[in-house]
Structure 1
């Protein structure tokens, strides 16, 4: 068992730390450019992302032409670790960077990579993911948004919901049904739909954090004409693209959970014996999550595909964060419903700082047990692939 990193990894870390020391955005500058709603992408954030791209630090695992430096999986881990230590994101369009651009690099044509992926990676445009629909959330295969191929274009009709950042996005990676007569997993395709296309309507709606936190959207498509060249992957082959997109979403997701746990532990102030016991549980959960994640990382670095291990990490990490948020809220008492703007200034560099009370942060923690694959689905995977239980 090796509990330290090799010299090449630590050299990689030191180079990135030096880059951060020189280029990390200043909070004062960032705060002065805080225009619009919390979902808008300010100018300083676009410049920060572009600088990372040009220096090969945006997504180090990518080749240089796509904002990276062909880093190993372990090097990518320490890259994210250093960002998390500073509570800093490499992009304020996480879906665009981590899902849409990544999916285009995996499944798109060379023209699509240059026209769309590179511009998303360089923060020249932003992107959102059009997957969920009313009645087709966890069951993506139940989607009903229809796209009919008519010569050199598709005509799209339907609706999406919970589309994060859609009102501020330039393009939507949209999952549509192109063959209604095929089995539901086999009749799906994926289209890039610019949001300024005639017939596209975006309606943002507020979350638990109030009317100014506009991130979720309803998106309506009414006879939307989309060029056939905007098809991503094969016609009727969208299910494979969907699995790849969710795979990108789950990459090193456990590190994000561990970081959130660490923040909750930092802010927890145990006073009673019971609170000290809860605090100890949070500390142990955080350590267990990092050890399990490190073991899974080591297996992945050796080329082992361990889907079940990722499911274990997803369930444990998301539910540990949810439990810790609940305990912190209980410990905070009446102070837990006080908006943080009353007691502390907003930190524009921290995307996790939603300007929410502890109550709101607790409610938000439920998203972690849904996004990237629900806990129920992950438990099915664990039951079948780890415990060998029958599907029925």
Structure 2
């Protein structure tokens, strides 16, 4: 059936975000009792018990619209990060803040610089606003800041740097990133996406929040979806110059972050003991997986996030499919720009050990004693 009304021409050049099969579908398809989901970079340890307790208490005012200004959450995040309340813009995930930045600052023909393999929503949102994405190839999985600097033109409006980068998990070093920030013209907005920053343990990672006082064109993105374990509630935010924040508020939906999400985020923020525990467990799991990949002779990107991209030497779709049959859901690197890789979320100790056994079996490295 061909509809008479047509969508915008730009939509013919955009593919929808590819979602993997649900765990229920995979269980049914392969006759599995359970699925170990290691594909979406979620916090495998869940969220703070304080959040669970708060949600179980219920909320008798769900008939009311949420606080469009996120007043309590704004106050708590402001105090926790040491930034002004007016510098904060909250969104339905940090994805929405990316959309707001594009909507507010990209016009027809404008350019936004980004890595060629990075979070895809940068490109999508810029493209929808009529802008052009200037994609600079990664170097060994890391942002090529020299190449990005050389790509700046009089049409450049935004620069996106995902640090740690998704999907490679790599970071840009302190001196290199600071030098880059200092060199970018002040009329260009630099967006540093730090969705995974709480997982970083490398001391060569730049603490960017103090730079907000020096660089008015700096925007820092954070989220409650990753280490805080609130991916299902969708809460993200940007920290930026108050004038920039004011422009984003003009294009933001009024009630974009629901009441339960706001309340849960406040509770999650108050439990930094849980966050520290998750970071420690993640670092141990990351070290274990890297050691196992080294043992198996598999190259991988040095990650500072809660996932690792590893080169299997075979078609990523094939390996991901075979792992799914054995109850392990990972992300193939085919659509991520590295066709012979898979990206695996770091799980619990039990998850990680079971995953390695399954990977060995799928790669033909150890076919004895494995219970599929």
TM-score (norm 2): 0.26
Q: Could you say which structure has the higher helix fraction?
A: 1
Q: TM-score, normalised by structure 1?
A: 0.25
The structure whose RCO (Cα within 8 Å, separation 6+) is larger is 2
